[in-house]
Structure 1
Amino acid sequence: LPEDMIAPVAPIASELAIAGAERVIQNSGVTFRIGGGEAFYSPTHDVVQVPPQIAFLEPINWFRTALHELGHATGHKSRLDRDQTGEFGSASYAKEELVAEMASAFACAALGIVPTVRHADYIGAWLEVLRADEKAIFRAASAASKAADFLLACGEERP
């Protein structure tokens, strides 16, 4: 490849990355609460809750977690309308977790956020889904790309 195509990309200043993530959160249209001891998205109430940033060993991971939960929120029927009816441990639950985690990874990459990745909680369920369906990763990546695009559009600066 030509040299200009393989030159390293300058990292985005952390304050700009964080500002971009905060715009996504603020403009997502999702009720976003900070508090409690667990991060979750409630499809019934269309609410994301994330513990305070101080609860994270590495504060940048708060943004990864927030974007993961907002990734779930993109599946709400008023947004991208994904199936979110799966019970914990089910294949459909694992698929949704894979979509949310990939959406978070895509959004973090686009915003210039470099979190510490923690997949151990879900990797077993993901492997079952991926083994059962050879196209699952492509479906998840497609849904995650749509979710990340949705979130990133929320974070665009508006005049």
Structure 2
Amino acid sequence: MADPYRVTLVCLGNICRSPMAHVVLEEKLTEAGLGDRVVVTSSGTGGWHTGDPMDSRAAATLSEAGYDPSHHVARKFTIDEYAENDLILVMDHSNEADVLELAPTVEEQQKVRMFRSFDPESSPEDREVPDPWFGDEGGFTRVLAMVERTSDALTEHLRPTAP
């Protein structure tokens, strides 16, 4: 069997947006029969939460929607992510700038895209997943809705790419 296609999702601390997207995308890929052909990981551009579980509000939002957030452990994005992944999806423009700064080559920068570039409801002016950290639980619900529809579209995009 060919090596799996590898996707990583990146936000700031790897405790809210990227782990929510990680859990949802992994589930959507499994439901589509691609779970063994696409490997999903996540990380944060900042390392202060390394080793921590997902934010409790993010985990509760996922649990209430029927997902299992219990396996997440935060980790920091490193230059090694370029060699280890085929696609690097960032949650906002600040994450994008941080990730691109670490790219070992201009060619490797081509792996980086905005996560919501796959969202059928986004526009070129509206590609960011807002950080719900400082808001209320409603922010996590809105992020989950974005993540679910983007993950549905991303799953369809990855179907022909996955070995």
TM-score with structure 2 setting the length: 0.31
Which structure is larger by alpha-carbon Rg, 1 or 2?
Answer: 1
More helix by share: 1
